[in-house]
Structure 1
Amino acid sequence: MTELYFQRHRRLRQNAAMRALVKETYLQKEDLIYPLFIIEGENIKNPVSSMPGVFQLSLDNLAAEIDEIVDLGIRAVLLFGIPEEKDAVGTGAFHDHGIVQKATRLIKERHPELLVVADTCLCEFTDHGHCGVIEGEQVLNDPSLDVLARTAVSQAKAGADIIAPSNMMDGFVTAIRAGLDAAGFQHIPIMSYAVKYASSYYGPFREAAEGAPQFGDRKTYQMDPSNRMEAIREATSDVEEGADFLIVKPALAYLDIIRDVKNSFPLPVVAYNVSGEYSMVKAAAQNGWIDEKAVVLETLLGMKRAGSDLIITYHAKDVCRWLEEK
């Protein structure tokens, strides 16, 4: 028989110890940021019907949730607020007694070591559901920047550790950076939603945050899913304006963009594993079609392998439990 020569790649896969020795990508608790939806009122724990396991929580139910999060080993949470009242300019977003500000103070008093990332946007707080100030049915860019900067400063005053603007207005990072610096918060980093697509994967989130637009859509300020180079232009602007982290949202259908951003910029890259991605897995698991644990861990590893340093995910609590099982 003619001697054959070929590569024996299976040598490094022959048992669990060998596979662990050559493992290239790791998923750790420290990689995860857990989103929370905080709502005005008392004794509220509303299940989000399209996101099994996710709830709208009132402040009196937040303490127990935060205790669990800390016990699981999660180091950071991302706060979204649902106010009692909304208006045209989103006053509740920048009021010192707004729901995000109150939740931030509660968290920092109870667990000062837990990082609070404040989502800095207006859509949950405006009666029209858009991420900026409107005139007719036009979302105005520059007037929105002033409101966003006020919101960021208010959140920092309340104790937020990181400001995460998600509105996709042009110049939002530079406006927020200037506002924070002028108010004495030069030390507060900005985790910019630098690359945010106008995605169909956001549907369940709009139920959870009660922030769906009341007219039109967000395609004039969020990105076209068909565009790749535009992501680099967007991220470049945010880096030049002073961003400290770069978010790519969504994650699962945009792994190529995560890799592009990681290869292009020396900043931490954050993948947002969004609501639709979460809900699809949950629905399939509840029907017995997939192994939820295996699929979630594989999916998040894929996001890490693509280049993300951190992952915002609604799976975070489950992932922490599964990692303990290993």
Structure 2
Amino acid sequence: MNKRDVAAPDPIELTGFNRTLAEIEWLLLVLVLVYLVLPDEPVEQTLGIAAAIAVFAVFILGFRYLNLFTLPARWKLTIETWAMLAFTAFVVWHTGKVDSPLISLFLLVIVFSALTLGKLITLLEVGLIASFYLFAAYTIDGTELFAYSTFSRLMLLFAPVALVAYVTSLIASDMRFSRNFAQRLSETDDLTGLPNMRAFSAALARYKQAAVLHERPFGLMMVDADNLKEVNDRYGHSVGNQVIRAVAEGIRRSIRSADLVARYGGDEFILLLPDTTEQAAREAGERIRGMIANTLIDAREGALTTTVSIGYATYPSMATDVDDLMLRADEALYASKHSGRNRVVAYSETFGL
């Protein structure tokens, strides 16, 4: 199964970002209002700016009210940041253009975008701000804008915006890397490097929704090493750990890229087999059984071999509920263990065992 795009914000993060953006939008409005009422700051288009404030406030209320009962999404946050850019550009244009004391308000949008929306959107927004900045300067300086002294002065004034965008993007990238690394650690089994049950349960819940929606079959398979206790008693737990790792590697080499295997606990493993019928599940189980039976495991007293017992159940032929499906795969594994081991058993066969 393909790895989830861990760099993408999850619903909880998006909810937090959504609240933060709302506060930034209101902060932007408050700062513009404060500037508007300052007695020592000349404003040419007071009514125009007041109208822009009203329109932007209506946009915030309307956009958020219409989306009140829907989950936050990146595209919604992006639309709001672009609306903030448009509002800020209008205010800056009417309060001095490139000499406006409010030009630093662009940084509110840049910082939020860099931390939450990624480098591409941030780069696009920096490009829009730069284009606006150059156009505003051109309306003041005309062709003199391209003189070295004028252009270099403008670039020095614009440099903080680009630097903040760059540095904030670096910080955001490091934060995402740290978060993703911590998440991988929390969802990975230390001994085998496979996903643990926390990661498997989350993947299964996601896949079950898609399977039910599109009426796609899938299988759950349980795999258990047959002789781990004997190995531990005779050779010690270090060799027993080698057996567990060998079983994990044998399973990993036998399954498709779309399949997901996790360590269930001890010497037991669980597999999610997407788009798999009962016959395809049996074939997968036989591949795994054969691969592990033919694997040599190094030990102090020579090479060892091990076998596995396998049980499986498929949706929807053997169960229509995921919890029932897991229980029935476990029952099939129990039947496999108690009917001779080193075999593959379907839940549908357990009635005759």
State if a TM-score over 0.5 links the two structures. Answer: no
TM-score under structure 2 normalisation?
0.21
Structure in which a larger fraction of residues adopt strand: 1
Q: With structure 1 as the length reference, what TM-score do the two structures score? A: 0.22
Larger RCO (CA under 8 A, 6+ residues apart): 1
Which of structures 1 and 2 has the bigger CA Rg?
A: 2
If each structure's helix is expressed as a fraction of its own residues, which one has the higher value?
2
